[in-house]
A and B are shown apart, each in its own frame.
Chain A
Amino acid sequence: MVDSLQYTPQITLEFPIGEKDFFMAGESASRVKKTLQQLGLKQDIIRRVAIIIYEAAMNVAIHASHGLLTVHIDPESISIQTDDKGVGIPDIELAMREGYSTAPYEAQEMGFGAGMGLPNMKQCSDELSLDTKVGKGTTLKAKVYFISKEHPG
């Protein structure tokens, strides 16, 4: 197990996510997880990154029309970003609240829409930010450091 990737080149992975492409969302989390396992990262880091990717990509598939998921691995951290063209988030504070969801019935039927995605992403990341414009789209950025103060061990 390693704490940093001094000897590994930086890696960027990209996954386009289409509207209602729920499968790709889960698939991207699953593929990144395998890559991180091959790099020999700690299980806890891998779990947190995979959860963030799953939730972030799923939000694009459910709440936006289409977008791009980018995962960047550098020697100190893993950055996860989603950029989508979508409805945007009118009230970020409300969206961050546990249990708040505007997921349509179709998504609820598949087990989404608990309103726990954003709180979960916040919990798993060292840094999380949302940049959103109503009617235009949303950019979400999350970062997980290999050595973190908030998630020791």
Chain B
Amino acid sequence: MKLKEVQQILDAEVLCGEDCLEREVTTCFACDLISEMLLYVKPQSLLITSLINAHVIHTAQVMDASGVIFVGGKKPDEGVIRNSAMNNVPLLTTPHPIFECCGLLFTNGIEGDKKNPLGRD
């Protein structure tokens, strides 16, 4: 699915990266812990979070995420948005809370990556 379709499904506002909306979103990962993002986010996956600090942008950039969705209408400050634009990480904000947000994407065909990186059963 394209990021543009994700935007429509989630009634999301684009904060930066308008030119990245044609990007393909393969999987999705939702969480509020940086270490877990560094563990689970795969290239081209979409990151859903309620954290709005600069670390989320660094993480998304380092992990080659296709973009970041902030839930519950949250918006990071201008500096974070600018830094993200510079690093080609599109940022979107949706009014939906995290559970609804994941549910909407899941019922529209986006799945998580079930592979367990630490090799547990």
**Which residues of A pack against B, CB within 8 Å?**
22-23, 26-27, 29-30, 33, 43, 47, 50-51, 54-55, 58, 98, 110-117, 119-120, 123
Q: Using a CB–CB distance below 8 Å, which chain B residues touch chain A?
A: 32-39, 43, 49, 51, 53-59, 61-64, 87, 117-119
Contact yes or no, B118 A30, CB < 8 A? no
Task: Give bound CA distance, A43 to B64, whole Å.
Answer: 10
Given A111-B53, A114-B33, the answer on whether A120 and B38 have CB atoms closer than 8 Å is yes
Residues of B within 8 A of A98 (CB): 118
Q: In the bound complex, do residue B33 and residue A29 qualify as a contact, i.e. CB atoms below 8 Å apart?
A: no
B87 and A51 within 8 A (CB): no
Contact of A111 among B34, B61, B119 (CB under 8 A): B34
On whether the beta carbons of B58 and A114 are closer than 8 Å, the reply is no
Chain A residues near B118: list those with CB within 8 A.
98, 119-120, 123
Which of these, A47, A50, A111, contacts B51 with CB under 8 Å?
Answer: A111
Residues of B within 8 A of A29 (CB): 58, 62
Residues of B within 8 A of A50 (CB): 62-63
Q: A110 and B55: CB pair below 8 A?
A: yes
A27-B86 Cα distance, complex, nearest whole Å: 13
* Complex interface: chain B residues within 8 A of A22 (CB): 54-55
Chain B residues whose C-beta falls within 8 Å of the C-beta of A115 in the assembled complex: 35
A118 → chain B closest CB, angstroms: 9
**Contact: A26 with B55, CB < 8 Å?**
yes
A126–B15 alpha-carbon span in the complex (Å) = 39
